[in-house]
């Protein structure tokens, strides 16, 4: 058990996280993320720097009208400018206008930044820290002081760095957050320095001493480790971002920090039922910021508890502790058994159960499926990334794959534009792909054509057009991703092409695979199976509801 049980999680995704290259948030995005973090149980949410841009101002205005349920929204700002009274500083005025109970104010700890960055003297910097915090306190605000570049400053000039903290304490800051702003500290350095600050605070004999916080960046791939060691040395506020978003290499990843602190070190960070929504929150925020989730992220990634090797799967089936460091359900994740050429019978059995299919080791089909899987993967198929295709393959082997339609052939035409001398498949260029498909449904032969912005979209549209009279629910499916991989580049244009196509229906996503020397043939295989799988799942859901109603 840890020496301190309560930690305060401080999320800065909306401010520091938004500084990640390629990440841009609208006001609505910020509001949606804030509400999701509020639901997660995060006690402090840094909303942004009011006055720095119009969006942050609008964000705080919106939250004044529709406050969060439990989280404290925090405004962020800097100390006053040199040689300017705090009451006349526009930065501090904007922070007050946000009307938050808490304000996080950052100041310079490193003498290098004072002289080179602020272009002022060391005494004036101390006055800037004191005056700014004291003014905010006079206006009724509670203050978290972020000691920017603290660790670098302490290593460079420890006596001056400590003076900056003294100024913050005298002005009645309630938290002193030690920042590894450049992200270059090592764990043993953080341990020693946080321990020194903690011991120093004890010697001051203050009646109500400020608490210590930690804010780390990931430039040395140590942000999480550094934050953990700071917590062990007495830091009670842990700052970070969801999915580790942030400038340069990112901030400390709360999706790793929180489980490590709570499940392994015994700290109280989030209510247990809220911790179980962490993986879902991670994926939700990645969707809002329009960045693909990291499948291999610890704890919350799709592959975090995925087992591929046959020996691993067999052991996990007997006792999950053999290859899992925590129970995946504790953070809302799932155990996954991956199907590949490294699979054994245990993989096949486990995957069948996940599909709701009955299959055991004594059934000859089990070994036939295993051999078929290895043969197909040797040819170039990849089922670990296309589980929908493997379920169809398994159902076919068991005689449980209904024939919804039969594809009899297709053609694709793409015009050549003379002014560029290449194939063009876009409306902007005055051309599009045209696909024709021949399909049989319930003994009826159908021939339909459709256009699209590319050959894959044209094939998708043509197939839907042919089937929509029989399966109107197809309108619920949409293509969300399309990946192409050339498997043997030495074979030139005769190389095999593997295509992965992802579909969604607003609630679920599924991926199918196609393989052929012809990229259009491979694409068509994947599209056909994707639509077939979606229809199969919808039929299964309807049948399950009917059974439930009858019972």
Q: Which of 49-58, 163-172, 324-333 has the highest mean pLDDT?
A: 163-172
Burial of 153 per CB tally in 10 Å (0-12, 13-18, 19+) = buried
Instruction: Tell me: pLDDT of 516 over 50.
Output: yes
Q: What is the overall mean pLDDT for the chain?
A: 89
Instruction: Tell me: pLDDT of 503 over 70.
Output: yes
C-alpha span between 335 and 347 (Å, rounded): 12
Structure confidence by residue, pLDDT tens digits, 117-144: 999 999 999 999 999 999 999 999 999 9
Q: What is the pLDDT of residue 368?
A: 86
Phi, psi of 448 (to 5 degrees): -140, 150
Structure confidence by residue, pLDDT tens digits, 415-454: 655 544 444 444 344 447 898 999 999 888 999 999 888 8
Q: Are 245 and 289 in contact (CB under 8 A)?
A: yes
Structural domains for the chain: 77-266 (3.20.20.70), 306-397 (no CATH), 405-468 (3.30.160)
DSSP strands (E only) in 228-290:
237-240
DSSP string, 403-463: ---EEEEEEEE--EETTTTEE---GGGT--EEEEEEEEETTEEEEEEEEESSHHHHHHHHH
Q: Average pLDDT in the 80-88 region?
A: 97
Structure confidence by residue, pLDDT tens digits, 279-332: 989 988 988 888 878 989 999 998 898 887 767 777 877 888 888 899 999 999
Structure confidence by residue, pLDDT tens digits, 359-368: 877 888 888 8
Q: What is the pLDDT of residue 227?
A: 98
More confident residue, 9 or 477: 9
Name the band, by pLDDT with cuts 50, 70 and 90, for residue 375. confident
Least confidently predicted of 2-6, 77-81, 484-488: 2-6
Structure confidence by residue, pLDDT tens digits, 231-272: 999 999 999 999 999 999 999 999 999 999 999 999 999 998
How far from 271 is each of 104, 237, 274, 278, 393, CA to CA, in Å? 25, 16, 5, 11, 42
Instruction: Tell me: pLDDT of 167 over 60.
Output: yes
Structure confidence by residue, pLDDT tens digits, 206-215: 989 999 999 9
Give pTM, 2 decimals. 0.71
Name the band, by pLDDT with cuts 50, 70 and 90, for residue 546. low
Q: Are 522 and 482 in contact (CB under 8 A)?
A: no
Structure confidence by residue, pLDDT tens digits, 174-197: 999 999 999 999 999 999 999 999
Token pair 């696909």: residue: 435
């Amino acid at each position: 058990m840890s020496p301190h049980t309560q930690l305060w999680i401080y999320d800065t995704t909306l401010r520091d996280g938004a500084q990640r290259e390629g990440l841009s948030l609208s006001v609505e995005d910020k509001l949606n993320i804030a509400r999701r973090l509020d639901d997660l149980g995060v006690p402090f949410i840094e909303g942004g720097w009011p006055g720095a841009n119009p969006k942050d101002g609008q964000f705080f205005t919106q939250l004044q009208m529709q406050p969060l349920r439990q989280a404290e929204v925090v405004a962020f700002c800097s100390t006053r400018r040199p040689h300017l009274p705090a009451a006349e500083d526009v930065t501090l005025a904007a922070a007050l206008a946000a009307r938050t109970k808490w304000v996080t104010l950052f100041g310079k700890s490193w003498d290098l930044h004072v002289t080179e960055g602020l272009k002022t003297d060391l005494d004036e910097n101390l006055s800037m820290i004191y005056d700014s915090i004291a003014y905010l306190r006079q206006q009724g605000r509670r203050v978290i002081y972020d000691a920017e570049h603290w660790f670098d400053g302490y290593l460079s000039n420890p006596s001056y760095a400590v003076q900056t903290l003294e100024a913050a304490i005298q002005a009645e800051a309630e938290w002193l957050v030690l920042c590894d702003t450049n992200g270059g500290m090592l764990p043993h350095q953080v341990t020693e320095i946080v321990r020194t600050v903690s011991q120093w605070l004890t010697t001051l004999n203050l009646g109500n001493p400020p608490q210590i916080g930690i804010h780390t960046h990931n430039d040395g791939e140590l942000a999480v480790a550094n934050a953990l060691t700071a917590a062990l040395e007495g830091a009670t506020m842990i700052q970070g971002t969801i999915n580790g978003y942030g400038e340069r290499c990112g901030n400390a990843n709360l999706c790793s920090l929180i489980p490590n602190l709570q499940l392994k070190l015994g700290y109280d960070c989030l209510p247990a039922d809220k911790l179980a929504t962490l993986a879902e929150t991670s994926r939700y925020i990645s969707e809002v910021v329009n960045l693909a989730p990291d499948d291999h992220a610890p704890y919350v990634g799709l592959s975090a508890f995925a087992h591929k090797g046959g020996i691993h799967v067999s052991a996990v089936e007997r006792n999950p502790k053999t290859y899992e460091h925590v129970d995946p359900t504790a953070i809302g994740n799932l155990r996954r058994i991956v199907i590949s050429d490294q699979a054994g019978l245990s993989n096949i059995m486990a995957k069948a159960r996940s599909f709701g299919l009955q299959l055991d080791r004594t059934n000859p089909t089990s070994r036939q499926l295993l051999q078929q899987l290895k043969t197909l993967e040797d040819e170039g198929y990849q089922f670990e990334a296309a589980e929908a295709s493997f379920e169809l393959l398994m159902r076919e082997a068991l005689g449980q794959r209904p024939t919804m339609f039969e594809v009899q052939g297709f053609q694709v035409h793409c015009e050549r534009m003379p002014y560029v001398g290449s194939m063009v498949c876009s409306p902007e260029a005055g051309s599009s792909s045209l696909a024709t498909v021949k399909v049989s449904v319930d003994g009826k032969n159908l021939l339909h054509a459709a256009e699209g912005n590319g050959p894959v979209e044209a094939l998708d549209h043509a197939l839907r057009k042919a089937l929509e009279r029989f399966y109107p629910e197809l309108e619920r499916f949409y293509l969300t991703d399309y990946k192409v991989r050339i498997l043997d580049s030495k074979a030139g244009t005769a190389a095999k092409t593997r295509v992965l196509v992802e579909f969604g229906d607003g609630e679920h996503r599924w991926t199918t695979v196609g393989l052929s020397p012809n990229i259009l043939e491979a694409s068509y295989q994947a599209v056909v199976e994707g639509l077939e799988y979606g229809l199969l799942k919808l039929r299964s859901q309807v049948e399950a509801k009917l059974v439930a109603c009858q019972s």
